[in-house]
Amino acid sequence: MDGVVNIHKPIGITSFGVVHSVKKILQVKKAGHIGTLDPMAEGVLPICLNQTTKIIQFLTPLPKVYTACMALGVVTDTQDATGKTLATADASAISEEQVRDAIQSFVGEQLQTPPMFSAKKKDGIPLYKLARNGITIDRKPVPIKIYSIEFIGKKETHVTFKAHCSAGSYIRTLCHDIGTKLGCGAHMLNLVRNQVGNFDLETSVSLEELSTAKSEQTLSGKIYSIETVLGFIPEIRVKPEFYKSIIHGVPLPKSSIEAAPEKFQIGTALRVCNNNQLIAIVEPVVDQSAFALMNPNDIAFKLKRVLT
């Protein structure tokens, strides 16, 4: 059983716990999730099954959409409602206009410092384990992008918004930083992940629904094929006589290519298919302008992952 199942993770369980439950329900040996959700969060958690775990690296960078509620006037050590209060301030005078302006100031490319209570690792140790032992270390800010933020509403000191952001963005840190911008502090009250790439809440299934589909033998509509999931990656067409070489991990010379995208860059992921079956992901070693000047036997694409 290969493919990807779009699970709606409930509140109160870890992402790893969801993976464990999916493995048990579907009786698969291997499974892995795309993008960690904290126990307090709910929403879209795509899970790759068996051989499809090979494509996690191509799905992890997908952009995400979240709906969050934050509380103004309280700062916590975890930047969310599960943490200890570090500071309080009177946020009753903060207007909706001030909140809207502060939120919009975070749209665009920026550097964000990962929270200590996170799954990021230092020397192989998750930061949250260090934090729980009272250890705080310097974290390097990482580049993220907030594509858009939609203000949804404000009720007293609680603010709800929807954010479309790049992978690696921490919404609780965004809440914290918005609070700092407003001068009153803030923390995240709750979080729903609405979308991961093309996976959304509308097409997600609960663990209970997955279990029912398994027992009723109606899983076909719940598990997405690798071809469907990676359909967003541009395709190159390779001459059939090179398929066997690809399966053995042999790089592709220019002469093997029948057609390629009009534009591509070094390191861009590209699909190689055989009769609509995805067999590999490759990446160019040159851009399209240099590709045009290559000799037929020059290596143009190297294998990133063989999928057959």
Residue 234 dihedral angles phi and psi, to the nearest 5°: -60, 155
CA distance 288 to 262: 7
Q: How many CA atoms lie within 13 A of 114 on its CB side?
A: 20
The closest alpha carbon to 63, from 148, 166, 149, 156, belongs to 166
CA distance 223 to 1: 9
Which of 2, 38, 80, 123 is an active site residue? 38
Asked whether the beta carbons of 18 and 45 are under 8 A apart, the reply is: yes
Contacts of the segment 205-210: beta carbons below 8 A, 24+ positions apart? 205/5, 205/6, 205/7, 205/8, 206/7, 206/8, 206/10, 207/7, 207/10, 207/18, 207/21, 207/22, 207/25, 210/5, 210/7, 210/22, 210/25, 210/26
Cβ of 300: how many Cβ atoms within 10 Å?
23
Told to judge if 177 belongs to the known catalytic residues of this protein, a careful annotator would answer no
Two tokens, residue 216: 């009723």
CA distance 29 to 20: 10
CA distance 4 to 55: 10
Helices and strands counted in the chain (H then E): 9, 20
Looking at the annotation, which residues are catalytic?
A: 38
